[in-house]
A = this chain, B = another copy of it.
Amino acid sequence: MKYSIPTEEYVTSGTVACQGCGAVLALRYALKALGPDTVLSVPACCWSVIDGPFPYSSTLVPLFHTAFETAAAAASGIRNGFAIRGNDHTTVMAWAGDGGTVDIGIQALSGAVERDEDIIYVCYDNEAYMNTGIQRSGSTPWGAWTTTTPVRHFKKEEKKDMVEIMVAHGIRYTATACVSHAEDFVKKMKKAKDIRGTKYIQVFASCPPGWKMQSDDSIKALRLGVQTGIVPLYEVENGVYKINYRPKEFKPVEEYLKLQGRFRHLKPEDVEHVTRWRDRRWKLLEAKVAMTRELYGADAAEG
């Protein structure tokens, strides 16, 4: 077979994830990029269950389970603990869900970025608290049903844009990614590995039960996310924006929305809302690309 990403596996079969779980693929890809000299700091999230119950684990790198709000702080501690004992080589990766990142974990993350801790923080974004049974998070998109945003009262706030928040922190490197675009994600993880200081990557990961869809639509939904422009793939390095994938033409957002039960209640005007949001966001993104290139030069991003 042809392999577009590294063949080494650091996640074993036998995980207790749902059928078709995108979060499993996310970590599988991340570890392929980082290799075995990696330690994980994992807060409460689906992955703290997926990995397996005592006395078993499905990751082939050391994994430290930590409290929900502490992924970045625990990772900072691990990194410094290694450093004082002379280990500067092991990659310490905080691996957290969107709730553990944009809500309850944002403070520890913000602090780590401010101190510029030498860690990679990855948020696998399935847009809700899945581990506890699909409650809204700050990363849940406008319009979505969750158990705490019932259909009659679907989510009315926009998704918190964590990558932009990281840019505002002046982080060295941040990027979006999507499980359907494994090669792009692997590339970004490798890049992050080689940068000293804090790196933040948010990878979009499907969740069949949480998105109310069939497990075999798992990758399709993600790909549609990218193709409709709902999930832009871009990176920001030293302040310079770069879009990694520009759909020639956006597919209509309906295609993305209709696949998922969590959006089934949306009316045409709601779909319009999502389309406008998508367009506004891309315009701004393109403007930022232009602006930062002009300010810092195209090279800065590569530097």
Partner of A161, one of B157, B170, B283, B290: B170
Q: How far does the Cβ of A108 sit from chain B's closest Cβ, in whole Å?
A: 8
A270-303 CB contact bits vs B (8 Å, 1 = yes)?
0000000000000110011011001100000000
Instruction: Tell whether A115 is near chain B: CB-to-CB under 8 Å.
Output: yes
How far apart are the CA atoms of A138 and B69 in the complex, in Å? 19
Asked if B295 and A284 sit within 8 Å, CB to CB, the answer is: yes
Given known contacts A165-B165, A287-B294, A288-B291, A160 and B107 CB-to-CB distance under 8 angstroms? no
| Residue of A158, A169, A239, A294 with highest tally of chain B CB at under 10 A | A169
Chain B residues whose C-beta falls within 8 Å of the C-beta of A103 in the assembled complex:
107, 111, 114
Chain B residues whose C-beta falls within 8 Å of the C-beta of A295 in the assembled complex:
283-284, 287
The size class of the interface chain A forms with chain B is 20 to 34
Interface residues of A in 136-153 (CB under 8 A from B): 138
Instruction: Tell whether A167 is near chain B: CB-to-CB under 8 Å.
Output: yes
Name the prevailing secondary structure of the A interface residues: helix
Chain B residues whose C-beta falls within 8 Å of the C-beta of A164 in the assembled complex:
168
Instruction: Tell whether A110 is near chain B: CB-to-CB under 8 Å.
Output: yes
How far apart are the CA atoms of A103 and B106 in the complex, in Å? 10
Chain B residues whose C-beta falls within 8 Å of the C-beta of A294 in the assembled complex:
287
Asked if B114 and A138 sit within 8 Å, CB to CB, the answer is: yes
Chain B residues whose C-beta falls within 8 Å of the C-beta of A287 in the assembled complex:
291, 294-295
Chain B residues whose C-beta falls within 8 Å of the C-beta of A107 in the assembled complex:
69, 103-104, 106-107, 110
Asked if B168 and A114 sit within 8 Å, CB to CB, the answer is: no
Chain B residues whose C-beta falls within 8 Å of the C-beta of A104 in the assembled complex:
107
A192-230 CB contact bits vs B (8 Å, 1 = yes)?
000000000000000000000000000000000000000
How far apart are the CA atoms of A175 and B126 in the complex, in Å? 33
How far apart are the CA atoms of A283 and B138 in the complex, in Å? 32
How far apart are the CA atoms of A69 and B104 in the complex, in Å? 13
How far apart are the CA atoms of A75 and B114 in the complex, in Å? 26
Q: How far does the Cβ of A117 sit from chain B's closest Cβ, in whole Å?
A: 11
Partner of A157, one of B102, B114, B157: B114
How far apart are the CA atoms of A110 and B165 in the complex, in Å? 10
Closest to A137 in B: B114
Closest to A107 in B: B107
Asked if A167 and B168 sit within 8 Å, CB to CB, the answer is: yes
A contact set with B: CB distance below 8 Å: 69, 102-104, 106-107, 110-111, 114-116, 138, 157-158, 160-161, 164-165, 167-170, 239, 283-284, 287-288, 290-291, 294-295
A-B contact pairs, 14 of them (CB 8 A): A102-B110, A102-B114, A103-B114, A106-B110, A107-B107, A114-B160, A116-B157, A161-B168, A164-B168, A167-B168, A283-B295, A284-B295, A288-B291, A291-B291
